[in-house]
Amino acid sequence: MKKRLPWFVGTIGAILFFGYYETQAFIHPDHYATLSNTVATIGHAWPISIFFMGQFSGILAAHFFWPWKANPEGEGGG
């Protein structure tokens, strides 16, 4: 558990960060932007960024769920 603690704390921190600022954006829309509004604004200014965000998400998904040999949960083959 000690080796995983930084990732656990970071994940909880990211969830809390997202929850706080999304709530602030809904309560005070003139002071804060939602995440989806920010992504749309960036995509409007730089359209290729949407592709890069999708590629990054896909790479992370493959990294997390590919059955690697080092995966203690599965047989793996990668």
Do 35 and 63 reside in the same domain of the chain? no
Do 33 and 52 reside in the same domain of the chain? no
Taking the C-alpha atoms of 34, 36, 40 and 42 in order, what is their torsion angle to the nearest 10 degrees? Answer: 70
Look up residue 50 and give its two tokens: 């949407």
For the chain, the domain total comes to 2
Do 68 and 34 reside in the same domain of the chain? no
Do 55 and 40 reside in the same domain of the chain? no
Do 41 and 6 reside in the same domain of the chain? yes
Q: What is the per-residue pLDDT for 29? A: 94
Question: 7 is in which domain, residue-wise?
Answer: 1-45
Q: What is the per-residue pLDDT for 78? A: 47
Do 40 and 51 reside in the same domain of the chain? no
Residue ranges of the chain with per-residue pLDDT less than 50: 77-78
Q: What is the per-residue pLDDT for 43? A: 95
Do 52 and 33 reside in the same domain of the chain? no
Do 37 and 5 reside in the same domain of the chain? yes
